[in-house]
Amino acid sequence: MEFFITEAQRKQIGGSGYFEFQRGQKEMREPSGYWKADSLLLHMDIADEIALYQIIPGFQYYGITYVDREKWDIICQNANKISGKAAKVIHALRDWAEENFQEYQYFVILGI
């Protein structure tokens, strides 16, 4: 992916300045771990550049953001209004998010 990396790639690169998009929650609860193999990671520099906090309602930079289907639809709408790169980042996440929603009610974004 152009903007996101996997946990395996993060281990090779090193560092922890990433937002972790963690899949698979049936209810709103605190995640049971971090740096999961099936997570997608977005570097904080990209998140800051596209003003992720303006795209995602209730975004918690240092905490946990829960994303359900309704919030995901808002995110997609917001990304298209803000900037070209923001729309591209959210579009890059789209297949992963849609796959998540086929089985789960939520995914979470773990802050820095």
CA distance 18 to 45: 9
Give DSSP secondary structure letters for 26-80. SSS---S-SS-TT-EEEEHHHHHHTTHHHHSTT--TTSEEEEEHHHHHHHHHHHH
User: What's the domain count of the chain?
Assistant: 1
Domain that holds residue 79: 4-110
> What pLDDT, on a 0 to 100 scale, did the predictor assign at position 83?
65
Q: What pTM, to 2 d.p., does this model score? A: 0.90
Residue 32 vs residue 111, higher pLDDT: 111
Tens-digit pLDDT profile for residues 72-97: 999 998 877 876 898 899 999 999 99
pLDDT at position 45 over 70: yes
Contact 19, 56 (CB under 8 A): no
